[in-house]
Chain A
Amino acid sequence: MSRQKNYLKPYKKRRFFKPKEKKLNRSMAGNTLLFVIMAICGVAMIMPLVMVINNCLKPLDELYQFPPKIFVRNPTLENFSDLFTIMNDSWVPFSRYILNTIIITGGGMVGHVIIASLAAYPLAKHNFPGKGILFQMVVLSMMFHWTVTQTPQYMMISWLHINNSYWALILPACSFGMGLYLMKQFMEQLPDSLMESARLDGASEWCIFWKIVMPNVKPAWLTLAIFQFQQMWSNTGSTFLRDEALKPLQYSLQQISAGGMARAGAAAAVTFIIAAVPITFFLICQRNILETMTSSGMKD
């Protein structure tokens, strides 16, 4: 951390349009050019999300207007109240969907963070037979997308008889490769002396893991939790869950937004909620996430 802060210091004194203290190898023309590129691309990137925000505040007549306007004229919260009305009418009580989401995302997050850090610690700090090949397998698993194993995974889940239960979503989520990889890379930075001194005091490996390693890698497990949340949040679970009472919030929200023109307002509200939740989480934890990603590099 201290090194990063030192590195950032020169930026502090530099104001964009009056560069009093000239930074190495930076020209005014270059700065302006890059600023313009950044502004144009930034607007292009954010525009669809601005539309999402504006749409959820538009009354129905503004949603179907020609020519379409991006910005809302008469903002209302009608769409959200519509959404709540639809929610209250739903066949399965809406609180049930929320509970399902909490169980599935919560289980997936906590399970993944604990299991992946448990496995990451020996991979980062111990030498034992088979270490190399196990880690290589995890790295290799990041090189293909989970859609590749979707079909055989479905077979595995039906053979294990965990089909149509929360486990069908939680267990595979616990074994994502990215989490283990990030955790291992982060733990490698911990100084060995930390563990060595605990070992001299007679601490067992488990004790070292819980009392020394885990408190020191807090940014990493927060990051893992957020990434996992993003994954689980967008999962509708429709492949594995058949009972309506087991399905997560995401599923019911998508059902609502598929309701056609009459529900266009509620659908806009749904889109906003779906996007806002993970973005908020990222906003809160941005610093921790970036600190973790520092060590994400592949050394060889």
Chain B
Amino acid sequence: MAGNGEISEVKVSQEALDIAKKQATLGYRIKRNKACYMMLAPYFILFFLFTVIPVILSVCFSFTYYNMLEMPEFIGWKNYIKLFLEDDIFMKALKNTMILAVVTGPVSYFLCLLFAWIINEFKGWVRAFLTLIFYAPSICGNAYVVWTLILSGDRYGYLNGFLMDLGILDNAIIWMKTEKYVLPFLIVVQLWLSLGTGFLSFIAGLQTVDKSLYEAAALDGVKNRWQELWYVTLPAMKPQLMFGAVMQITQAFAISDVSIQLAGNPSVNYAGATVVTHLLDYGTVRFEMGYASAIATVLFLLMVGSNLLVQKLLRRVGE
């Protein structure tokens, strides 16, 4: 800016300077936006009460022994030491959660993307119908109890029935009470349930990609749909990719209802135990709130940590 020096020569009245100074102060800016804060207040009061303070409480209580009746007693790192060194079930639950998250997280993410991408090739009612088919499982409430019929341990269960009918099995297998089958089936059911908000976001995002980009890419030598996907579509819908990742990862770490419904809690030899079922066990059955808080804090760090990491990775898509 060459003209800067000259502009500063212009005389500014003291009054105008004072006003400018005043307007720059924090207090003034807060005051001027009073209406904004009034609008924010109802939401953020509730948000603090039911989300922010619980997180802080959870971290604080994780260093105490607290049973909801007596005053919490500070015990330092003992909860965490017990959690990682003595609690075998927690280690098993953590292992299960990691397996479930590492498998269902990325797989469901790519399935969301793949299906959304293919659905985008269709139009009109076919597209609406396909969207409904793939999205319906994730909103059907707890209608996934139908999987208890499919995986039922007697011969009336669909899976047993079909396999016995085909002569592959002689006797019914009690699927969800056999340790080695629990996790694989939980993964299948979870994948079935996982085409949720992220999936919708992808479908919507694909529609907004500018068509002229495809034409330009074709001129630049993009030869097939796969190249088009990698070089044009994905970079153009990066914001949706990041949103979808948050949805899928958070969901993948929080698997609990499906496990409780299908495998029971506690499940056979804790084959279906996850960090959340362990948390529920201590928080709502045994009322060891301090210990439950420690579990919750670990889970919180796991979810937020992996989300932030993946966000960082996704920024690089198409670069």
Contact = CB atoms under 8 A, between A and B. Distances in A.
Interface in B209-231: 210-211, 214-215, 218, 222-225, 227-228
Given A67-B162, A144-B304, A151 B201 contact: no
A45 interface: yes
B156 A171 contact: no
Most B-side CB within 10 Å, residue of A122, A153, A254, A297: A297
Contact of B146 (A55, A204, A296): A55
Contacts of B123: 8, 11-12
A278 B146 contact: no
Contact of A67 (B137, B161, B204): B161
A166 to B, nearest CB: 15
Instruction: Report whether over half of chain B's contact residues are helix, strand or loop; otherwise say mixed.
Output: helix
Contacts of A142: 246-247, 250
Interface in B1-59: 26, 29-30, 33, 35-37, 39-40, 42-44, 46-47, 49-55, 57-58
Most A-side CB within 10 Å, residue of B68, B139, B223, B246: B139
Given A25-B218, A45-B134, A286-B128, A38 B118 contact: yes
Contact of B246 (A31, A67, A143): A143
A115 B49 CA distance: 15
Contacts of A297: 201, 205, 237-243
B96 interface: no
Contacts, number: 308
B299 interface: yes
Given A153-B50, A290-B207, A271 B146 contact: yes
Contacts of A70: 158
A51 B139 contact: no
A2 interface: no
Interface in B175-223: 192, 195, 197, 200-201, 203-205, 207-208, 210-211, 214-215, 218, 222-223
A64 B155 CA distance: 9
B222 A134 contact: no
Nearest to B135: A282
A34 B121 CA distance: 10
Interface string A135-147: 0011011111101
Interface residues of B, number: 111
A299 to B, nearest CB: 5
Contacts of A48: 137, 143-144, 146-147, 150, 192
A77 B123 CA distance: 36
Contacts of B205: 293-294, 296-297
Most A-side CB within 10 Å, residue of B130, B200, B205, B253: B200
A23 B189 CA distance: 37
Given A143-B308, A171-B46, A297-B239, A155 B303 contact: no
A29 to B, nearest CB: 10
Interface in A1-17: 3-4, 6-8, 11-12
B133 interface: yes
B94 interface: no
A93 interface: no
A262 interface: no
B219 to A, nearest CB: 10
Contact of A145 (B49, B228, B250): B250
B240 A296 contact: yes
Most B-side CB within 10 Å, residue of A48, A64, A148, A274: A148
Interface string A149-192: 11111111000100000000001101101101000000000000
- 3 closest cross-chain pairs (CB), A and B: A297-B239, A145-B254, A119-B43
Interface of B: 26, 29-30, 33, 35-37, 39-40, 42-44, 46-47, 49-55, 57-58, 61, 68, 115, 118-119, 121-123, 128, 130-137, 139-147, 149-150, 155-158, 161-162, 164-165, 192, 195, 197, 200-201, 203-205, 207-208, 210-211, 214-215, 218, 222-225, 227-228, 237-243, 246-247, 249-251, 253-254, 256, 276, 279-280, 283-284, 289, 292-293, 296, 299-300, 303-304, 307-308, 311
12 contacts: A4-B207, A24-B218, A25-B224, A34-B121, A38-B119, A52-B140, A145-B251, A174-B46, A175-B49, A205-B36, A227-B197, A274-B143
